[in-house]
Amino acid sequence: MVQYSLPLVPGPDKVRWNASVNGVNVDFFIDSNAILLDVLRDQSGSLGTKRGCDMGTCGCCSVMINGTPKLSCLVLAQEVRDCEITTVEGLSSGHHLHPIQQTFADCGGSQCGFCTPGFLVVSAALLEKNPSPSEAEIKTAIEGNLCRCTGYQQIVESISKASEILVSGRRVGNSTSSKSDPHPGFSGSE
């Protein structure tokens, strides 16, 4: 088989790009016309950022750019050079989920889960700015995100539950902590 080297079809120039993706400084060459979503998925390995439509209509590709949620399929990667980008992978701290992640799991905010990264990023950004949003504020925040499974109701619930946790200052437990003992003692009165 013949191996070819890039570029084959006359393509855009390669430019150097750096940014902080989920707290890590990345530095690589990208196509000068590359879309942020493609860079994140194909080059920085953030496959959690989903592509639902590629034209700004579904919200699955939402990421935070310097704290503001943006549709990464509509952002030219070059525009966000040196910015701080947070994707869904950057929400949890180690194995402690972000409250919004925990409540999405607990309250049915995620069914098939494909829209979930987008919703999480958008609502995490909302809660950052406004830790106890009203229902109307929540709805406004997620109006650009489509979900075909949940009918949004449990998503809105998840977000308000998360805000309760955030306000209370509690932290979500570590998901790697020990699980049920298959050989428990028996306590009849507990």
Partner 1 sequence: MSDNDRSIKSKEASERDVTSESGEMVGYRQQPGKLPFSKPGSGGRNRFSKPTDYSRIPESQGGSLKQPWGPHRHDDLVSGQVIGKPTSLVDSNWKVTGQAKYGDDIRLQGEVIGRILRSPHHYARVLSIDISKALELPGVLGVATGEDAPGKFGVLPVTKDEHAMAVEKVRHVGDLVACVAAIDEPTAREACRLIEVEYEVLDSIHDIKQGLEDSENPIHDRGKYHIGDSNVQKRVFQQFGNISDMKDSSLASHESNWTFTGVNHGFTEPHAVVAHWDPSGRLTLYTPQQVPHYLHRALADVLDIPMHQINVYRTFVGGGFGGKSDPFPHEMCAAILARKTGRPVRINFDREEVFWVNRGRHPSKISMSLHADSEGRLCGIETDALIDGGAFASFGHVTTYYNGVLHTAPYEIGAFHYTGARVWTNKPASGAMRGHGAVNSRCAVETGIDDLAEQLGVDPIDFRLANLLPPHSATITGFRVTSIGMRECLERVKEESGWDEKFRKMPLGKGIGIGCGFFISGSGLPIHWDPNKFPHATVHLKIDMDGGVTVHTGAADIGQGSDTVVAQSVAEVLGLPLDMIRVRSKESDTSPVDLGSYSSRVTFMNANAAISAAMEIRNELLEATSEITGSKIEGLVIGDRRIFDKRDPAVGVSYLEALHKAQEDKGALVSSGSYRTPPMGRAHKGAAAGLAPAYSFSAYVAEVDVDVETGQTKVTKVWAAHDCGKALNPLAVEGQIIGSCHMGLGQVLSEEMKYGRTGHLLNPDLLDYKIPTVHEMPDVTPIIVESNDPEGPFGAKEAGEGPLLPILPAVVNAVYDAIGVRVSELPITPDRLYKAIERRCKSEGIGEPSDMAPPRLEFTSLQETLQRRSIDHSKRDKERRLTDSPSPYHNGALFGLDPEIPGDEQDSRWAAVVIPPDGYLEDPGLAGSAWKHTERRYRGDVE
Residues of this chain that interact with ligand FES (CB under 6 A) are: 51-54, 56-61, 71, 73, 110-116, 147-150
Q: Which of 30, 36, 39, 49 binds partner 1 (CB under 8 A)?
A: 49
In the window 65-84, what residues touch partner 1 (CB under 8 A)? none
Smallest separation, CB 61 to ligand FES (Å): 3
Q: What are phi and psi of 179, to 5 degrees?
A: -100, -165
Q: How many residues does the chain have?
A: 190
HSE-CB of 125 using CA atoms within 13 angstroms: 21
Regarding 15 and contact with partner 1 (CB under 8 A), the answer is: no
Q: Which of 6, 16, 24, 25 binds partner 1 (CB under 8 A)?
A: 6
Residues 108, 150: Cα–Cα separation, whole Å: 8
Residues 34, 77: Cα–Cα separation, whole Å: 6
Q: Cis peptide leading into 7, omega within 30 of 0? A: yes
User: Coil, strand, or helix at residue 73?
Assistant: helix
In the window 100-159, what residues touch partner 1 (CB under 8 A)? 101-102, 104-108, 110-117, 120, 139, 142-156
Q: Which of 21, 71, 75, 97 binds partner 1 (CB under 8 A)?
A: 97
